[in-house]
């Protein structure tokens, strides 16, 4: 079963999913429990409602993708 996250963040299998994200292939028993206990923050998607929603990119930023640009030390130091 697929789940659409409307509010808040959900951690599933070690990843955070924010509002607007879709969790694909969640086991039915777990999906029903999450939907029932979410007070409307999570919505179950049917098989025919297969519209893909792009996950929130800020929620899935990994440390390996964040880097600083290279700097030339000679240009950053004021010369005499």
pLDDT tens per residue across span 22-60: 888 888 888 889 889 888 888 988 755 555 555 555 555
Q: What is the pLDDT of residues 65-74, one digit of tens each?
A: 556 778 787 7
Give the pLDDT confidence score for residue 52 in this predicted structure: 53
Give the pLDDT confidence score for residue 47 in this predicted structure: 57
Model-level pTM?
A: 0.54
- CATH value of 1-47 in 3.30.2310, 3.40.5, 3.40.50, 3.10.510: 3.40.5
Please state, in angstroms and as integers, the Cα–Cα distance from residue 79 to each residue in 11, 46, 71, 73, following that order: 51, 66, 16, 11
Please give the Cα distance from 8 to 40 (Å, whole number): 11
Strands (E), 1-80: 2-5, 10-12, 15-17, 22-23, 42-45
């Amino acid at each position: 079963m697929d789940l659409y996250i409307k509010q808040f963040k959900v951690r599933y299998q070690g990843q955070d999913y924010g509002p607007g994200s879709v969790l694909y292939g969640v086991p039915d028993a777990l999906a029903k429990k999450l939907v029932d206990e979410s007070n409307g923050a999570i919505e179950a998607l049917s098989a025919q409602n297969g519209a893909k929603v792009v996950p929130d990119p800020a929620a899935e930023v990994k440390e390996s993708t964040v880097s600083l640009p290279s700097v030339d030390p000679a240009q950053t130091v004021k010369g005499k």
